[in-house]
Amino acid sequence: MNNKMLFDVKTNPFSSIKHLPRARRTDPDQSHEGAAKARINFTEKRKWVYNCITATPGLTSNELAEIHCPGIERKIGRRLRECERLGLLREGSVRAC
Where do the DSSP E strands lie in the chain?
3-9, 89-96
The Cα–Cα gap between 97 and 62 comes to 10
Question: What residue ranges do the domains of the chain occupy?
Answer: 3-11+29-96
Model pLDDT for residues 9-66, shown as the tens digit of each residue? 554 455 445 555 677 889 898 988 888 887 777 788 888 888 888 898 888 888 888 9
pLDDT band at 5 (very low <50, low <70, confident <90, very high): very low
pLDDT exceeds 70 at position 81: yes
Rg (CA), the chain: 15
Alpha-carbon distance values, 8 to 22, 54, 69, 90 (Å): 29, 8, 18, 6
CA proximity to 64, closest of 41, 43, 86, 81:
81
- Report residue 70: phi and psi, to 5°: -55, 135
pLDDT at res. 59: 86
Over residues 81-96, mean pLDDT:
79
